[in-house]
Structure 1
Amino acid sequence: MSQSPAGELPDTSRLLRAEQRGLRLAIICRTLVVGAAFLWVGSSWVAFGFYPNPLVFGVLGAFTAVGIAHAAVIGTRFDRWWMKYAIYTVDILGICAVFAFLPLVQGETVPQILAFRAYGIYYLFPLIAMATLSLSPKLVLWAGGVAVAGWFAAFFIAISDLETTLSWSDLTPGATRADYEALFLSANFIGRGNRIEETGFLMIATLILALAVLRARRVFMAQVAAQAEREQIAATLGRYVPEAIARRLIDDPSALVPQERHAAILVMDIAGFTAYSAGRPPTEVIENLNDFLSGCAEEVSRHDGVVIQFTGDGLMASFGAPIDSDHPEQDAVAAGRDLLLCAKQAGFSIRIGLAAGPVAAGSIGSSDRQAFTVYGDTVNRAARLEAHAKVLGQSVLMDAGVSGKLAGETPQLLGQQQLRGLADPVPVFTLPLKVSD
Structure 2
Amino acid sequence: MPGRPDQSSAEEALAGAERKGFRLAVIGRTGALVAFAFFYLTLYAFPNNVYVAGVLLLAAAIGLIPLRLARSRFERTARFALFALDAAAASAILAFAPLSSGGDVPQNLVFLSSRTEYFYVIVAASILALSPALVIWTGLCAVIGLASATAWIMLGMERIVSLGDLPSSPSRDDVFAVLLSPYFLGIPVRVIEGLVILLVTCIAALAVHRARNVVRANAAGEVERNRIQRIFGRYVPPQVAEQLTQGGQLAPQLRTASILFADIEGFTRLSETLPPERVIRMLNCFFGAATAIIDERGGVVVNYIGDAFIAAFNAPLPADDHPDRAVNAARDLLSLVSEQVFEGHQLRLRIGVATGPLAAGTVGGEARHTYTLYGDTVNLAQRLEALNKDFGTDCLISGSTFDGLHPVCLDAVAMGTLQVRGRERSARVYALSGQTRHSSVR
Q: TM-score range by the shorter chain?
A: 0.5 to 0.7
Aligned position for 1:20? 19
Q: Quickly say closer, same or farther: Cα 1:344–1:149, change in 2 above 3 A.
A: farther
Task: Kindly provide the amino acid, as one letter, of the partner of residue 221 in structure 1.
Answer: R
Offset of residue 217 of structure 1: 1.2
Task: Kindly provide the amino acid, as one letter, of the partner of residue 15 in structure 1.
Answer: L
Aligned position for 2:218? 223
Q: How does 1:247-262 map to 2 (within 5 A)?
A: 247-252=242-247
Partner secondary structure for residue 196 of structure 1: helix
Offset of residue 8 of structure 1: 4.5
Q: Quickly say closer, same or farther: Cα 1:176–1:291, change in 2 above 3 A.
A: closer
Q: How does 1:350-361 map to 2 (within 5 A)?
A: none
Q: Measure, in 2, the Cα distance between the counterparts of 1:98 and 1:85.
A: 20
Report the TM-score when normalising by structure 2.
Answer: 0.61
Are 1:53 and 1:106, in contact at CA under 8 Å, matched by a contact in 2? no
Are 1:277 and 1:285, in contact at CA under 8 Å, matched by a contact in 2? no
Q: Quickly say closer, same or farther: Cα 1:336–1:95, change in 2 above 3 A.
A: same
Note the alpha carbon deviations across 1:10-63, whole angstroms, 9 max, x for none: 431121011101000000010111112112211212xxx586364212321221
Aligned position for 2:364? 320
Report the TM-score when normalising by structure 1.
Answer: 0.62
1:116 aligns with 2:111: yes
Aligned position for 1:260? none
Aligned position for 1:55? 51
| Cα RMSD after superposing both structures | 4.2
1:101 aligns with 2:96: yes
Aligned position for 1:245? 240
Note the alpha carbon deviations across 1:387-426, whole angstroms, 9 max, x for none: xxxxxxxxxxxxxxxxxxxxxxxxxxxxxxxxxxxxxxxx
Task: Kindly provide the amino acid, as one letter, of the partner of residue 12 in structure 2.
Answer: S
Task: Kindly provide the amino acid, as one letter, of the partner of residue 227 in structure 1.
Answer: E
Are 1:92 and 1:150, in contact at CA under 8 Å, matched by a contact in 2? yes
Note the alpha carbon deviations across 1:52-111, whole angstroms, 9 max, x for none: 364212321221111122223323x36432110100001111110121233333473332
Task: Kindly provide the amino acid, as one letter, of the partner of residue 97 in structure 2.
Answer: L
Offset of residue 287 of structure 1: 6.3
Aligned position for 1:74? 70
Partner secondary structure for residue 271 of structure 1: helix
The structure 1 residue matched to 2:139, chosen from 120, 139, 144, is 144
Q: Measure, in 1, the Cα distance between the counterparts of 2:159 and 2:39.
A: 34
1:202 aligns with 2:197: yes
Q: Percent identity?
A: 26
Offset of residue 164 of structure 1: 1.2
Task: Kindly provide the amino acid, as one letter, of the partner of residue 190 in structure 2.
Answer: R
Moved more, 291-300 or 163-172: 291-300
Q: Measure, in 1, the Cα distance between the counterparts of 2:37 and 2:123.
A: 20
Q: Measure, in 1, the Cα distance between the counterparts of 2:20 and 2:288.
A: 47
Offset of residue 198 of structure 1: 1.5
Q: Measure, in 2, the Cα distance between the counterparts of 1:21 and 1:87.
A: 16
Q: Quickly say closer, same or farther: Cα 1:254–1:96, change in 2 above 3 A.
A: farther
Note the alpha carbon deviations across 1:220-277, whole angstroms, 9 max, x for none: 222112211221122102366335522331124599xxxxxxxxxxxx9942223687
Q: Measure, in 2, the Cα distance between the counterparts of 1:337 and 1:59.
A: 82
Are 2:161 and 2:183, in contact at CA under 8 Å, matched by a contact in 1? yes
Aligned position for 1:299? 310
Q: Measure, in 2, the Cα distance between the counterparts of 1:286 and 1:5.
A: 32
Note the alpha carbon deviations across 1:263-302, whole angstroms, 9 max, x for none: xxxxx99422236879xx9999986565668766462677
Structure 1 residue ranges without an equivalent (≥5):
256-267, 305-311, 349-431
Are 1:167 and 1:189, in contact at CA under 8 Å, matched by a contact in 2? yes
Aligned position for 2:402? none
Q: Measure, in 2, the Cα distance between the counterparts of 1:26 and 1:276.
A: 71
The count of residues paired between Structure 1 and Structure 2 equals 322
1:36 aligns with 2:35: yes
Are 2:161 and 2:184, in contact at CA under 8 Å, matched by a contact in 1? yes
